[in-house]
């Protein structure tokens, strides 16, 4: 039983590393945006960076307070991009990967419901909330790229 909970802690730590990297990546890339429409894109990237920072903080709480785990301080690999289009596409790819990963984490939480006892509802709620916000980021980045939903799915 403890091994299954540790599996979840490991999954949440991977998600934490992704969120910490996303925060750094969004902030760094926001500084690179220039051109005619730079200001609103820069502001939106900074806002998404704030969301990612909040996700990381929430994950640290879940790992430490609810599962007695040790939160990771590492960062997942970040991407490099210089043009607005490259920046938006790089982040869109990361957000899609995050949604897919959080779906796996959510499934693991549901699988462990009986073993998580009083931590279950908080874990399930918070991971589902983060997943929903990542989906919102996909919609926003897709809109900033001027892509239809179909274009994004084909990409």
Q: How many structural domains does the chain have?
A: 1
For the stretch 59-113, pLDDT in tens is 999 999 999 999 999 999 999 999 999 999 999 999 999 999 999 999 999 999 9
What does pTM read for this prediction? Answer: 0.95
- The enclosing domain of 53 has a CATH number of 1.20.1260.10
Residue 1: pLDDT over 80:
no
In SS3 terms, 18-80 reads as HHHHHHHHHHHHHHHCCCCCHHHHHHHHHHHHHHHHHHHHHHHHHHHHHCCCCCCCCCCCCCC
Encode pLDDT of 24-43 as tens digits: 999 999 999 998 889 999 99
Domain that holds residue 107: 2-154
């Amino acid at each position: 039983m403890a091994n299954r909970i540790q599996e979840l802690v490991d999954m949440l730590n991977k998600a934490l590393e992704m969120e910490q990297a996303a925060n750094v990546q969004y902030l760094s890339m926001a500084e690179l945006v220039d051109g005619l429409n730079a200001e609103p894109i820069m502001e939106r990237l900074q806002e998404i960076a704030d969301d990612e920072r909040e996700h990381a903080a929430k994950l640290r709480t879940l790992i430490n307070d609810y599962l007695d785990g040790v939160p990771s301080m590492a960062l997942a690999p970040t991407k490099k991009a210089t043009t607005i289009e490259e920046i938006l596409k790089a982040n869109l790819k990361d957000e899609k990967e995050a949604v897919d990963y959080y779906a796996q984490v959510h499934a693991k939480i549901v699988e462990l419901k009986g073993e998580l006892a009083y931590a279950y509802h908080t874990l399930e709620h918070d991971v589902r909330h983060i997943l929903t916000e990542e989906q919102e980021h996909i919609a926003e980045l897709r809109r900033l790229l001027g892509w239809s939903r179909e274009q994004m799915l084909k990409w």
